[in-house]
Structures are given as structure tokens and as C-alpha cells.
């Protein structure tokens, strides 16, 4: 049996990410994890531009971005939909991404992270990120729903 925390991950400071956590939790209901089929894009208009949907068809290193929100595409200057870890030329970014996703996939628990790094395209990113596990069979995490909001130097969340 999966033991999932019923409270949001510690440290969520962005009300939009806290609201996204509430949406995910409502979709989960009494089950351990919601599945992709439970997530309705029409209900997610408040977050859609800042969402990623990442699929794990096998090992965590074989992930694929299934959805990349328009604000994320605009910030990074390119679409990552259909791309995976093989396109990341920055070792720092590759390690950071796996470091962020692995605990969520293995523990089946949401995770909140604030990080800063230079991505493979040379774009500096300071972000607040909420990673929410999804499971089609209720056991194996095969996708994550990720909310990302960018932070300015002053610590004010942007976009």
C-alpha cells in the first residue's frame, strides 16, 4: 500500500502552486495517486501556461516532455515538447532535473523546490517548482505534473 502525505510539501510560498497542489489533491481523492485521465486541461486554465507534463515510459532517464506551457516556452525561447534528457547539453541541468524528479517518482510524493541554474540553452533560471506524481495504475509513477513559476532577483515570482 502506498503511503501518501495528505499535506502539501513544506515551503510552498507561491499561492498559485499551493492552489495547484489543492487541485491535484482533489483529483486524487481517497486514492493514492491521480492518473493523467483525472487531469482536465479545461479546469487548469489558471496554471496552463506554467505547466509541464513529463512522462516516464521506462527508466527515469528516458523521460519525455508531453506538454510545455506557453509561458515556459516563452521564457526558455524554445518548445521542449517531445524532448527528453538527451537534448540537455548542460551536465548541471541534466543532474538537477534527475535530482528533482527521482524522489517524486520513487517516493510517490509531491515535492516543492526552489532552484537556480543555467539551462542547456544558456538561459538563467530562478524558479519555484511543484512536482506532482501521476499514475495510470495507481502504483507506478508514470508521469509528473509540474508547475513552474520564475522568480526575479528580488525574490518576487514572475509569470
Q: What is the mean pLDDT of residues 100-109?
A: 93
pLDDT at position 4 over 70: no
- Phi, psi angles (nearest 5°) of residue 117: -165, 170
H or E element in which residue 121 lies: none
Q: What would the pLDDT profile of 19-75 be if each residue is shown by its tens digit?
A: 999 999 999 988 989 999 999 989 999 999 999 999 988 888 888 888 888 888 887
For residue 36 the three cell numbers come to 493523467
pLDDT at position 5 over 60: no
The DSSP line for 8-24 is PPTT---HHHHHHHHHH
Diameter of the chain measured on Cα atoms = 43
Q: What angle do CA 134, 110, 28 make, to 5 degrees?
A: 50
88 inside domain:
yes
Query: pTM of the entire structure?
Result: 0.83
76 inside domain:
yes
8 inside domain:
no
Write out the residue range of the structural domain in which residue 53 sits: 15-35+44-158
Q: What CATH number should be reported for the domain holding residue 22? A: 3.30.450.20
Q: What pLDDT sits at residue 44?
A: 92
**Number of structural domains the chain divides into:** 1
Q: What is the mean pLDDT of residues 81-97?
A: 69
57 inside domain:
yes
For residue 25 the three cell numbers come to 489533491
Amino acid at each position: 500500500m502506498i503511503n501518501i502525505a495528505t499535506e502539501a510539501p513544506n515551503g510552498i510560498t507561491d499561492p498559485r502552486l499551493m492552489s495547484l497542489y489543492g487541485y491535484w489533491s482533489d483529483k486524487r481523492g481517497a486514492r493514492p495517486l491521480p492518473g493523467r485521465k483525472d487531469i482536465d486541461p479545461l479546469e487548469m486554465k489558471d496554471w496552463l501556461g506554467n505547466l509541464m507534463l513529463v512522462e516516464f515510459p521506462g527508466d527515469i532517464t528516458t523521460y519525455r516532455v508531453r506538454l510545455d506551457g506557453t509561458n515556459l516556452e516563452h521564457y526558455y525561447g524554445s518548445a521542449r515538447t517531445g524532448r527528453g534528457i538527451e537534448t540537455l547539453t548542460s551536465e548541471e541541468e541534466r543532474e538537477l532535473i534527475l535530482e528533482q524528479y527521482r524522489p517524486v517518482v520513487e517516493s510517490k510524493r509531491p515535492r516543492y523546490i526552489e532552484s537556480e541554474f543555467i539551462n542547456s540553452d544558456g538561459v538563467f533560471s530562478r524558479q519555484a517548482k511543484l512536482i506532482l506524481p501521476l499514475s495510470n495504475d495507481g502504483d507506478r509513477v508514470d508521469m509528473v505534473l509540474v508547475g513552474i513559476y520564475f522568480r526575479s532577483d528580488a525574490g518576487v515570482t514572475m509569470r
